Amino acid sequence: MPDRMFLPALCVSVIGLLLIVYISPSIKPPLSHVSDISPSSLEKVVHFVGNVSKQRVFRGGSMVLTVSEGGSKVDVYLPFDYASAFKGVKMEGNMVEVSGTVQVYEGRLEVVADKAAGVRLR
């Protein structure tokens, strides 16, 4: 009897795992505020909207955006792969939607964009 249930259970398990792998990249954390980003947010994925008050492009092509909202600000780092999507685009003064992981860089909190879709102009 247990042998008859093994194959259907295995199929259901594999289908469930495939669905999780397929759906998980499109799931974003709930929208929060820049002021909510704190040391307790380290290594967590955050999702927020703010105004780009400063844009710095580095020689290697990576980029840092300072995003402000309601008197709070945070730096958002875009590695070269992701920053290339915004090459030549003046981001300062524009609203952006950001999804990324909170990290510490030189003693300050910053958000590292998880993928190119992690930063969108609004």
Question: Using 50, 70 and 90 to split pLDDT, how confident is the model at 73?
Answer: very high
| In-domain check, residue 42 | yes
Task: Name residue 81's amino acid.
Answer: D
Minimal CA–CA distance to 58: which of 84, 20, 37? 84
Taking only the tens place, the pLDDT of each residue in 21-54 is 777 666 667 888 999 999 998 999 899 999 999 9
| In-domain check, residue 21 | no
Whether 69 and 35 have beta carbons less than 8 Å apart is answered as yes
| In-domain check, residue 24 | no
Minimal CA–CA distance to 86: which of 68, 64, 111? 64
The position carrying tokens 């510490």 is: 104
| In-domain check, residue 2 | no
Domains identified in the chain, total number: 1
Where in the sequence is the domain holding 92, given as residue range(s)? 29-121
CATH value at residue 102: 2.40.50.140
Side-chain half-sphere exposure of 17, counting CA atoms within 13 A: 6
Verdict on whether the full-model pTM lies above 0.85: no
Minimal CA–CA distance to 112: which of 97, 99, 101? 101
Q: What angle do CA 60, 62, 67 make, to 5 degrees?
A: 150
The position carrying tokens 């008050």 is: 53
